Structure 1
């Protein structure tokens, strides 16, 4: 299993299929740009829920898809 890269800026993306972009409401434009590039894009709320459950829920609807 390959590692998933978590980035804070789109400029840091090396492999879109192995990248998760975490965004908040204020980052909507960048979140849509990330989703357009094929990057898994989730909300910061999703991240907090994953931390509380101690597992990544990659089946949850993505941030940009929920608009």
Structure 2
């Protein structure tokens, strides 16, 4: 098991996780990234939502090519 303070917990699979509501999430993968930030759309599995996103601004040329 590996813990990244800014990311998921990496666990060797297969894995079964009992969620707060009592349901069981299962993964047969050889390595599983378990979400610790709760931002993931695929919770309890990590989808990298913890990563900072940089917004890019486009210039007027990018928006209106001639």
Tell me the TM-score range normalised by the shorter chain: under 0.3
Higher helix content, 1 or 2: 1
Higher strand content, 1 or 2: 2
Larger radius of gyration: 2
